[in-house]
Structures are given as C-alpha cells and as structure tokens.
Amino acid sequence: MQFLGWIVIALAVFLLLILIRCICIVPQAHIYVVERLGTFRTEWTTGPHVLMPFFDRVARKVSLKERVVDFKPQQVITKDNVTMQIDTVVFFQVTDAKRYTYGIENPMMAIENFTATTLRNIIGELELDSTLTSRDTINNKITAILDEETDRWGIKVIRVELKNILPPREIQESMEKQMKAERERREKILQAEGEKKAQVLVAEAEKESKILRAEAEKQSEILKAEAEKEALILRAEAVKEQKIREADGEAKAIEMVQQALAESLKKLNDANPNEAVLTLKAYEAFAKAADGKATKIIIPSEIQGLAGLAAGIKSAAERERT
C-alpha cells in the first residue's frame, strides 16, 4: 500500500509537470508557430496559451522586432575594373511568421547571399567615382530589390546601408593625392579671392576717402564763399547805413542853417533895418563869397558903389593924418 501511494504521488507530480509544460505564455512582440503532429496548426500572439500534450509543439518562436545584420565585406568590381571591398548592414523585420518559418531554411544566409549578388550587379554598372559618390542611390536600389525578393519569406527589408567602401591601396593613395591637390587648389583660389577682395576694399576706401575730401573741400569753399558774401553784404549795409546817416546829418545841418538864416531874416525884418544895414549885410555876404574857390566873381552895382565910397573915405582919412 505504501508503494502504491508513492506511485500515485509520482503520477500526480508527472501530470502536474506536464500541465505546467502545456501552459505557454507568449511575450510582447513575439509570435509562436504551433504544429500538431508535425503540421502547422496556428500562430500564437502575445498572452497565455495551452498546448495539447504529446500532440502540439511550438515549432518556432519568431520575434517581430526590427533586426540589424552586419554582413562581412564582399569583393566587387566596378565598371572601370577596380576591385574593392564593401560591407553592408541590413535592417529588416519579420511580418509573416508562418512564411518566415516554412518559406526558407536559413533566412539570414539567404539575405546575405542575395545582398552580395545584388551589390555586385549594381556596382558593376558604376565607375569608381560614381560608386564613391552614390551611396544613397545604391542603398535605395538594394533595398527595393531585397524587399521585393524577401517578401515571399515573410521578411520586410526596411533599409540597406553600405557601411564601408574600401578601394585598393594604390587607388586610396591616388585619391589622397588628388584630394591634396584639390585642397591646395581651393586654398590658392581662396587666397586669390581674399587678395582680390582686399584690393577692392582698399580701392573703395580710397575712392570714398577722395569723395569725402572733395565733398569737404567743396563744403569748405561754399562756406567760405557764403561767409565772404555775408561779409560783403554786411560791409555794404554798413557803408549804406553810414552814408544814410551822413546824408541825414547834412540834411539836418542844412535844415538847421536854413532855419537859423530864416530866423535871422525874420528877426532882421522884425527890426525894420535901414538901407545902411542892408548894404552892410550884403557886403558881408560878398566877403564870404570872395573867400570861396570860384575864379570869377560878379559884383553887383550897389556893392561897387559902396566900394568906391569906402575907397574915398580911406583916402580922406590918410590925408588928414599927413
């Protein structure tokens, strides 16, 4: 009985282990391909699932994550017969787990070989310079061809990149010399352009300096002329003002003399002078006229008679003295 109990316990543990093994949990971004008696049954997605013991089995666990495969360098020959080595990097993702499981035996080897042959075909149509400068074009062509061919394997090729392009050593040395010569040429061009710009700037600076000096001299001459003009105007205004004042002074003097003469005549007329006084005044006026610069003097007849009378009086007086 004790032995039978141990058998029951062992059977229970065995059944429990089988039950545990039949419970399967599929993680995120994975698909399990399940077969029943060697035939495809279903695809399990994320979550818990139960296998039928001894009949079902997980044939393949497929990851749906994007993968990156770095293939070893491949020797290729360009159109101008230059042998070089190119290594590629392929980014792909499984989109159909069933076709990925049953479509091809070794998907990675198939992708590597197909990438190599496609790369040789594309590079064979290009020359060395085009190969080195057309990476994007080559990448796009390989990606399109691989994506179309791998679709039947349940694989989506997202991107193919040329990681390294290694031409022969002598080609690399020639390219380095060419690049050095190109850099020296660009350096000389830049130096020449710099000197040219410097000369242009110096010439423009001299031109602007001359223009500014000419403008300054012109402005100075204009200001000088305006100053002289204003000085002449001020001098003319001063002379004019002086003459006006002199004329006003002379006019006032004449007016005062005339006024004084008129007042003297008025006073003389008011005094009712006799003929002798008038004759004396006429003589005084003649004496003033004789003191002038005139070369000819017309003597009135009245003054001539007075002069004769004066001469007679003078001679009579002299006889009395003797």
Q: What is the C-alpha to C-alpha distance for residues 94 and 108, in angstroms, rounded to an integer?
A: 12
Q: What is the C-alpha to C-alpha distance for residues 51 and 41, in angstroms, rounded to an integer?
A: 11
Summarize pLDDT for 181-215 with one digit per residue, the tens: 888 888 889 888 888 998 998 888 888 888 988 88
In a domain, 201, yes or no: yes
72 and 60 share one domain: no
120 and 159 share one domain: yes
In a domain, 229, yes or no: yes
Summarize pLDDT for 137-164 with one digit per residue, the tens: 899 999 999 999 899 999 999 999 998 8
The mean pLDDT value for 228-242 works out to 86
More confident residue, 275 or 6: 6
- Cβ proximity of 30 and 46 under 8 Å: yes
pLDDT-derived band of residue 63, with 50, 70 and 90 as boundaries? very high
Report the interhelical angle of 275-290 vs 301-321 (nearest 10°).
Answer: 100
27 and 116 share one domain: no
212: left (phi over 0), alpha (psi -120 to 50) or beta: alpha
Q: Which amino acid is at 111?
A: I
Which pLDDT value is given to residue 247? Answer: 81
54 and 93 share one domain: no
From 35, 64, 93, give the residue that closes a domain: 64
Which pLDDT value is given to residue 167? Answer: 82
Q: What is the C-alpha to C-alpha distance for residues 22 and 34, in angstroms, rounded to an integer?
A: 12
72 and 38 share one domain: no
Summarize pLDDT for 287-314 with one digit per residue, the tens: 555 555 554 555 555 555 544 544 444 4
DSSP letters spanning 5-41? HHHHHHHHHHHHHHHHHHEEEEPTTEEEEEEETTEEE
88 and 71 share one domain: yes
26 and 87 share one domain: no
Tell me which range, 102-106, 131-135, 270-274, is most confidently predicted by mean pLDDT. Answer: 102-106
Whichever domain contains 86, its CATH number is 3.30.479.30
Domain, as residue range, for 192: 187-257
From 257, 288, 314, give the residue that closes a domain: 257
Least confident of 77-86, 169-178, 228-237: 169-178
120 and 151 share one domain: yes
Counting the structural domains of the chain, the total is: 3
Cβ-proximal residues to 278 (8 Å cutoff; 6+ apart), any chain: none
Which pLDDT value is given to residue 80? Answer: 84
In a domain, 300, yes or no: no
In a domain, 274, yes or no: no
> How does the average pLDDT of the chain come out, rounded?
80
Q: What is the C-alpha to C-alpha distance for residues 195 and 83, in angstroms, rounded to an integer?
A: 44
In a domain, 8, yes or no: no
Percentage of residues in the chain with pLDDT exceeding 70?
80
In a domain, 1, yes or no: no
From 167, 201, 232, give the residue that closes a domain: 167
Summarize pLDDT for 5-34 with one digit per residue, the tens: 677 777 777 777 777 778 888 999 999 999
216 and 200 share one domain: yes
Q: What is the C-alpha to C-alpha distance for residues 320 and 289, in angstroms, rounded to an integer?
A: 33
The pair of three-digit structure tokens given for residue 69, joined into one six-digit string: 């495969």
pTM higher than 0.75, yes or no?
A: no
193 and 120 share one domain: no
185 SS3 class = helix
In a domain, 174, yes or no: no
Which pLDDT value is given to residue 317? Answer: 46
Q: What is the C-alpha to C-alpha distance for residues 127 and 171, in angstroms, rounded to an integer?
A: 13
Least confident of 78-87, 90-99, 239-248, 267-276: 267-276
- Cβ proximity of 39 and 63 under 8 Å: no
Which pLDDT value is given to residue 318? Answer: 54
150 and 85 share one domain: yes
Beta strand pairing call for 56-63 and 155-166: unpaired
The pair of three-digit structure tokens given for residue 82, joined into one six-digit string: 């230059």
Percentage of residues in the chain with pLDDT exceeding 90?
19
In a domain, 215, yes or no: yes
Which pLDDT value is given to residue 309? Answer: 46
Which pLDDT value is given to residue 173? Answer: 76
Which pLDDT value is given to residue 174? Answer: 74
Summarize pLDDT for 72-104 with one digit per residue, the tens: 888 888 888 888 889 899 999 999 999 999 988
192 and 213 share one domain: yes
